A and B are shown apart, each in its own frame.
Chain A
Amino acid sequence: MIVAKRKPLNEIAEMLAPYKKVTVIGCRSCVAICLAGGEKEVKMLVSALKVKNKKEGKKQEFEGFVVERQCEKEWIKEVEDKVLGSDVTLSMACSLGAQTIGDMYPIHLTFPGLNTGIFGVPEEQGVWSEKCVGCGNCIIHTTGGICPISRCAKSMLNGPCGGSANRKCEVNLEIDCAWAAIYDRLKIQNRLDLIENVTPAKDWSTSHSGGRRTYVREDARLTPHQKKGKEAVQ
């Protein structure tokens, strides 16, 4: 899922310093699960900022709450009054949420409280590691289920680089060499022959390198007739 991290509090405080009335909006989805922007984190952030203001003799008004999924306009619409009633909104969701609010109310100021992040797998409670960079063309069926684009520092497609040693990556010794892992995996699957296939150079146009991507399901789109009369979302 999307994993984000809260920005350092002093950075957030600086962002919000010029404003009097602040709404802090979190999200119950990905950022709650990765412990960055759920209701608890929102409440703690508001409290910490109030303590800071107490120290500096400043006065700001804070209101903090969460919505179910901040990237969906319907849920933002439900809290529109609170957003527009403030001088600035601090989004404690991933940047998708922050931008959804921003796009809905372009004159209103919406600032990001988190740094997004990675597509992360919870390796254990509290540890999320990146295993996908959204290249848009998944080939892990040929690599034993291990993604070389995200897990190899050089995104190699045909085996380890010359720097791989003791199953570790030469770029960062704390990273396991993805291709060593792929080799081990294909071995226990009895598919080592796959390693001998030469994968041609990757067509990166499906990844972000090709520019901002939009995924569409034509059959799911509402026709103009369907959209009419549904004022909530345009």
Chain B
Amino acid sequence: MAERRPKVIGFCCEKHGMDAAVLSARSGKQLDASVRIVQVPCTGRVDGIHLLKAFEDGADAVFVLGCLEKNCYYDTGSIEGRKRVGYVKQMLTEVGIEKERLEMFNSASSNAWAFPDAVSKMVDIAKKLGPIGGGERQ
């Protein structure tokens, strides 16, 4: 069986989420290249539809990275993001998909470790659980 590269995708808010990702890169942190990032203005913009579609489109693990809840740039956006992730996790459980494949993270823009930690956690999960349905990647 050939080595399968995991597919991890993260929806990061344009504010503290992306700032944390940029800071980690500028601090020299190295990441598994499997991670893809989609920028959204706020994690409150993230719809359960995007998360589920990501799994449909081949993601092994999906995460959402937003501001710390007490310091969200848009006041309550990351609270909303957390709720969306929670709802989809419940749906995943109902269809027999491991809910660990989806996770919510929060970070301050000044935290250089948060993004690499989130990525490595999700890459580990993607490697451990493998692609959904095993077998060939589309």
A interface, CB within 8 angstroms of B:
8-10, 13, 40, 43-44, 47-52, 54-57
Contacts and interface: CB of A to CB of B under 8 A. Distances in A.
Given A47-B53, A47-B56, A48-B92, A55 B48 contact: no
Interface of B is mostly: helix
A203 B49 CA distance: 49
B94 A10 contact: yes
A175 B49 CA distance: 35
B31 interface: no
Chain A, interface SS category: helix
A54 B133 contact: yes
24 contacts: A8-B94, A9-B91, A9-B94, A10-B94, A10-B95, A10-B96, A13-B95, A40-B48, A40-B49, A44-B49, A44-B88, A47-B49, A47-B52, A47-B56, A48-B91, A50-B56, A51-B55, A51-B132, A52-B96, A52-B97, A54-B55, A55-B132, A55-B133, A57-B133
Nearest to A49: B95
A2 B70 CA distance: 36
Nearest to B87: A44
B135 interface: yes
Interface of B: 47-49, 52-53, 55-56, 88, 91-92, 94-97, 132-133, 135
A43 B97 CA distance: 18
Contacts of B56: 47, 50-51, 54
Contacts of A10: 94-96
Contacts of B94: 8-10, 48
A51 B49 contact: no
Nearest to A54: B133
B9 to A, nearest CB: 14
A52 B98 CA distance: 11
B135 A51 contact: no
A13 B53 CA distance: 18
A48 B91 CA distance: 7
A174 to B, nearest CB: 22
A60 to B, nearest CB: 13
B49 A43 contact: yes
Nearest to A11: B94
Given A13-B95, A40-B48, A48-B92, 13 more contacts: A8-B94, A9-B94, A9-B95, A10-B94, A44-B91, A47-B53, A48-B52, A48-B94, A51-B55, A51-B92, A54-B133, A55-B133, A57-B135
A49 to B, nearest CB: 7
A11 to B, nearest CB: 9
Contacts of A48: 52, 91-92, 94-95
Contacts of B96: 10, 52, 55
A51 B47 CA distance: 16
Q: Which 6 A-B pairs have the closest CB atoms?
A: A47-B52, A9-B94, A52-B95, A55-B133, A51-B55, A54-B133
Given A52-B95, A52-B96, A44 B48 contact: yes
B75 to A, nearest CB: 16
A8 B96 CA distance: 11
A51 B48 contact: no
Contacts of B48: 40, 44
Contacts of A47: 49, 52-53, 55-56
